Structure 1
Amino acid sequence: MPTFTTTDGVRLHYEDEGTGRPVVLVAGFCAPLQSWELQRRALAAAGLRTVGFDRRSHGRSESPAHGQRLSRHGADLHELLVTLDLDDAVLVGGSQGASAIWACYDLFGPDRVGAVVTIDQTPRMINGDGWEHGFYGLTTANVGTFFAAGIPDTGRGRREPRTAGIAKVAEALGGLPAFADPRTPERRALLQSHAEQDWRDVIARMEVPSLFIAGRDSQLWPCEHASAAAAANPLASVVTLEDCGHAANLDQPDATNAAILEFLG
């Protein structure tokens, strides 16, 4: 199991396969790198090098009490790029994984990064002050307690279970990937950090092409977040997937893969 150790002493797990332009897959809150299996196969078939990355407190990586903030997760991602000597990398992040990518770019700019793909992650979770594309019901008044019991059911968006996509992943892996417990102190601290961020200024000054993929029927926020964020940067483009909830790589894996490959092509 390949790992590297961060500058603050945490061992992180990754998987590195193939040749060609590197694509780094960064999973969302509590999701392991194996949740990208359907994307990994499509990217590998297209001749791309795929690097799956378990963030700290996720998958097979260590889960320390320290560093459970998005800025540190962004630094971890950059250290992975340096460790593997990746240049012109395509960073693909789903949900909170997208925020880790924006944190990385905020700290290090386009160093080693050639393009960015984010999958159904609003750049600002909090609604208000002219921004109404955040997490349903989250405001400045309740941000301190909103996620105290985990991620609430908003009652919005797609209600059907993601059985088809999950079944495909399980078949590809020979079993279901293990998702982390969101209730641990480490992950609750990380979720709070996630809730308080606003990445719009980072997106506006990004100097590499970026693709925003949104689920039309996301359970967490309006799909218009993607167009609103992309409008600030002429290098940004948007794809909104129909009949798709928040976890686009599981709800609509084929459409997600096609959007990524078309963007890279």
Structure 2
Amino acid sequence: MAYVETRDGTELYVKEWGEGRPVILIHGWPLSADSWDDQSLALAEAGFRAIAYDRRGFGRSEQPAHGYDYDTLADDLADVMEAMDAEDGAAIVGFSMGGGEVARYMTRHEGAGVEQAALIAAVTPFLLQTGDNPDGAPASVFEEIKAGIKADRSGFFKGFMRDFYGVGALGAAVGSHEGLVEWSVQLAMQGGLLPTLACVDSWSSTDFRPDMGAFEVPTLVMHGTADATVPIALAARKAAAMIASSELIEIDGGPHGLLATHKDEVSAALIRFLRA
């Protein structure tokens, strides 16, 4: 099956590798399911059924003018699980923005069919600075991101992806991830401009703190200590403290783009967790 039709008629591209217990992989902004390829292959070789899909508006999926709020995105996840017959004993794994779909699914769909969950470099529980979240990022930061995209989308993403992968960061091998930067810019440019901007509003301003208590299954929380895109102190450490059944793994020196820069470490930790 290459495409799944959601309840509002949007066509989502889905890729499936391997056989066994289903593991649904939700990608980060502004990428596509292809960003999960290293983990998908490792999962398939380890005896799992890896299911990754392009979020609406990105990759090969349709680009409607609506539906980029997390309630709708969580419904999309539920529709993919149903269409792929992956509602029994599943694990749902979200990277970056994708962690929001995982969190909202746990409340909106009461974690139906989910046996394990994982949040990798995720935006949960809340990124925006507010009166009761003083450590968050000011709204102006996210407005600057949108302005940069509108002004020069490809140029913005080239700089964004360098930070994403820690290119040029202290201790990083300069130039070691330039190929990743170029590839990721190509993935980002596949997304529609409207969806790309709308999702900035979603992942930056959605408060997932009320969703954290709905994680009643074993949950892996993994994050890089050198993440300059979604700082670990603002995200993973807080999320792990709020999820009773969580296991926190901190990858020393890891940037935001862990799925690529630390692919073997991430895959090994994920497989170990899924087998536990």
Does TM-score exceed 0.5, indicating one fold?
yes
CA distance in 2, matches of 1:114, 1:121: 19
Question: What is the CA deviation profile of residues 9-28 of structure 1, one whole-angstrom value per residue up to 9, with x for unaligned ones?
Answer: 11111012221111111110
Contact conserved, 1:68 with 1:187, CA < 8 A, in 2?
Answer: no
AA partner of residue 180 (structure 1):
A
1:1-265 aligned at under 5 Å gives the runs: 2-86=2-86, 87-123=88-124, 124-129=126-131, 131=133, 134=136, 138-139=137-138, 142=140, 145-150=143-148, 158-160=166-168, 176=183, 178-181=186-189, 184-224=193-233, 225-265=235-275
Cα displacement string for residues 107-148 of structure 1 (whole angstroms, at most 9, x for unaligned residues): 1011011111111123211134454554xxx225x3773432
SS across alignment from 1:191 = helix
Structure 1 distance, partners of 2:56, 2:135, is: 28
CA–CA separation in structure 1 for the residues paired with 2:146 and 2:108: 28
Question: How far has the Cα of 1:31 moved from its partner?
Answer: 0.9
Native 8 Å contact 2:17 2:41 kept in 1? no
Q: For residues 125 and 204 of structure 1, do their structure 2 counterparts lie closer, same or farther at Cα, with a shift above 3 Å needed?
A: same
Q: Is the 1:162–1:250 Cα contact (8 Å) retained in structure 2?
A: no
Residues in 2 aligned to 1:59 and 1:25: alpha-carbon distance in whole angstroms: 14
Cα drift, residue 43 of structure 1: 0.7
Q: RMSD value over aligned CA atoms?
A: 2.8
Closer/same/farther in 2, CA of residues 63 and 109 from structure 1, 3 Å limit: same
In 2, Cα distance between the equivalents of 1:101 and 1:163? 33
> Structure 1 CA distance, aligned partners of 2:178 and 2:217?
32
1:37-90: CA deviation from partner (whole Å, max 9, x where unpaired): 110111111100111111101111011101122221111000111112211111
What is the CA distance between 1:150 and its match in structure 2?
Answer: 4.8
| Bigger Cα displacement from structure 2, 121-130 vs 3-12 | 121-130
The residue type equivalent to 1:44 in the other structure is: A
Describe the superposition over 1:188-233 as per-residue Cα deviations: whole angstroms up to 9, x where unpaired: 0121122111112211231111111111100123312312211122
For structure 2, which runs of at least 5 residues remain unmatched after alignment? Answer: 150-155
In structure 2, what is the Cα distance between the partners aligned to 1:254 and 1:185?
34
Equivalences, count: 256
Distance 2:246 2:143 in 1: 33
Structure 1 unaligned residues grouped into runs of 5+: none
Q: Is the CA contact 1:17–1:50 (under 8 Å) kept in the aligned structure 2?
A: yes
Relative to structure 1, is the Cα distance of residues 85 and 166 closer, same or farther in structure 2, using a 3 angstrom cutoff? farther
Distance 2:6 2:259 in 1: 28
Q: Which residue identity does 1:127 align to in structure 2?
A: Q
User: Whole-Å Cα distance in 2 between the matches of residues 164 and 144 of structure 1?
Assistant: 28
Question: CA contact under 8 A between 2:58 and 2:192: conserved in structure 1?
Answer: no
Question: Take 1:198 and 1:78, find their aligned partners in 2: how far apart are those partners?
Answer: 20
CA distance in 2: counterparts of 1:72 and 1:162, whole angstroms: 40
Cα offset for 1:156?
7.7
3-state SS of 1:22 partner: strand
CA contact under 8 A between 1:91 and 1:115: conserved in structure 2?
A: yes
Work out whether residues 167 and 176 of structure 2, in 8 Å CA contact, stay in contact via their aligned partners in 1. Answer: no
